[in-house]
Structure 1
Amino acid sequence: MFKFNKDLELPPQLKWKFSHEPELLGWTIRARNYNTFVANCMLLFMAVLNVGAAFIMYSVYAGMSQPWRTLSCVFFYTLMLIVTLSMTHQRMKFAYRVTKSGLEHCEWKDFPEWALTFLKWLAGVTAVFFVFMATIDPSFLLGALIGPGGVGLTYLSMAYSKSYREMHTQYHHYAFKWKEITQLAVVTNREIVDFKYSIIQKGDEHITNGGVNIFCKRKQKEKVAEFIRSFLSPNVPFIKTKADVPQY
């Protein structure tokens, strides 16, 4: 019927359950599906730790000329802050699809291979730079060990840590039939449509109840909510509410 701009491609690990049916509505979006207040606190904590590490680095570089000493510490702090930010404020990718049978969505997060490439080249370039500068000032040899060496260790820990890769790689698919949705809500203080569901899992005799946040692009949540509502039973509550949920 109408389709929002799709700027994300569904990864091969995920498949639509109702792919045999025409898509009536679909869109993709990047959003933070976690408590951003906690993430901001973690970033602030790590930023303070990085300041301490930069000051320690500054004292270690006592034999270096003042401009290069300051520049090295600022570079180290900036790099560590960027790495920290990439870990605490990642965005999930979401894809939504509506058909006559129901609503389904995929969410995924790929491991940032670009970050590894960046760190590897950064370690190499900075190592060459520090070695070259050591021909002018021998104190830069210490900088070559601490600066590029630290970047290299960060690269190795990210590239070969299985737990780190698993933490930053996720693929999930969820599908709901219209009869399983028990409440629909428009979140007034966020670009989100929320619905509650009640289902019986395959092989399980117990009813599972839960809720799902549907992340919408700006000024589209009302249209999305009304479109979904048209498929629901008139007995399904449709409300407006506020929620303390993350904004994308």
Structure 2
Amino acid sequence: MNIFRISTLWVPDHHLNMEWDHPERPALKEWSIKAFDGNLLLASLGFLLPTLGVFFVMWLIEGDIWLGLIPSAFVGYITYNASVQKRMCVHRLTDEGGEVYKWRAIPDFIFASMPWFAGIYLILVLWGFTFSSEIGLGALVGGGGVGLLYALVFTSEDYKKDQLDLRHWKFNWDEIYEVIYDRKGHAIGFTTEDSRPYIVRFKEDNENFYGCRIYFHPKMAEELLRLFKSKIAPSIVIKEGRIHYRTID
């Protein structure tokens, strides 16, 4: 059953490809939400640094603030979609466990434009050197180099595949051994036994790192907490705190 609708204009039509592994199991709860699943600080830096870098380069070269607004707005739009765009999350919980689909609805032209994006940065830096070596180096250090690096990373086919792929994972209630409720992030994080060896390594850096995360609308919090408490082992205490993220994801 397709419980999610989104315009497919220039974005992956993953909602048409969702197939639950256990559609025969009656659903206790189904919902979809658009959520940011990752480290917002890192993502914001990935968006702000190239944008401010272009603005700084244009200001160094021309000395005109307004001249830098148009290219900065263009770069900001591209980098926002590539780094800060939220994920589409579709959840289905049953008596036995749950399934989750996640993907990012990023227009494909965002990635197709990255080579042009890198070229623009390179031209701006070289243009700065035509005025003076100081301006050229200032443009490179002041943001042009960072922007060029980000553009090259976003051009990578591996990065594009990671961002646009349809992700599907599932779990059973009896596999869960720890749970956290992130009130501010409107999320529940948990870890299952099969991922314990992987998760333990990262918990040495931060104990609030959890391998599985589901997001929900604020009004659903109490209902989902009751559902989790009724399904997980009685010995498991749902702690409250902020979920730790290692990357932008």
User: Is the partner of 1:74 in helix, strand or coil?
Assistant: helix
CA deviation profile, 1:143-186 (whole Å, cap 9, x unmatched): xxxxxxxxxxxxxx99x863453243121111111211112332
- Aligned pairs for 1:57-96 (under 5 A) are 58=62, 72-96=67-91
Using the size of structure 2 for normalisation, the TM-score is: 0.63
Where structure 2 has 5 or more consecutive residues not aligned to the other structure, the ranges are 7-12, 114-151, 200-209
Q: Take 2:162 and 2:59, find their aligned partners in 1: how far apart are those partners?
A: 31
Counterpart for residue 142 of structure 1: none
Whole-angstrom distance in 1 between the partners of 2:192 and 2:232: 12
Separation in structure 2 between the aligned mates of residue 217 and residue 163 of structure 1, nearest angstrom: 32
- Structural mapping, 1:148-159, within 5 Å: none
Give 1:18 deviation, angstroms.
1.4
Matched, 1:15 2:13: no
Q: How far is the alpha carbon of 1:10 from its aligned partner?
A: 5.7
Equivalenced residues, count: 189
- Distance across 1 between alignment mates of 2:111 and 2:198: 40
Report the CA distance between 1:35 and its aligned residue: 0.6
Distance 2:26 2:42 in 1: 40
2:194 is paired with a residue of what secondary structure? Answer: strand
Residues 1:97 and 2:92 aligned together: yes
Question: What's the C-alpha RMSD, in Å, of the aligned pairs?
Answer: 3.3
Among 55, 75, 80, the residue aligned to 2:59: 55
- Write the distance in 2 (CA, Å) between the matches of 1:96 and 1:81: 31
Matches within 5 A, 1:167-206: 167-199=162-194
Alpha-carbon distance in structure 2 between the residues aligned to 1:91 and 1:215: 12
User: For the Cα contact (< 8 Å) 1:18–1:99, is it kept in 2?
Assistant: no
SS of corresponding position for 1:11:
helix
Distance 1:70 1:199, change over 3 A: closer
Unpaired runs of 5+ residues, structure 1, are 60-68, 120-156, 201-205
Name the amino acid aligned to 1:212.
C
CA distance in 2, matches of 1:15, 1:165: 23
Larger radius of gyration: 1
Shift of 1:33: 0.9
Residue 37 of structure 1 corresponds to which residue in structure 2? 41
Question: TM-score under structure 1 normalisation?
Answer: 0.63
Change (3 A) 1:164 1:172: closer
Task: Compute the displacement of 1:114 (Å).
Answer: 6.3
Counterpart residue identity of residue 31, structure 1: A
> Identical aligned pairs, as a percentage?
18
**Structure richer in helix, relative to its length:** 2
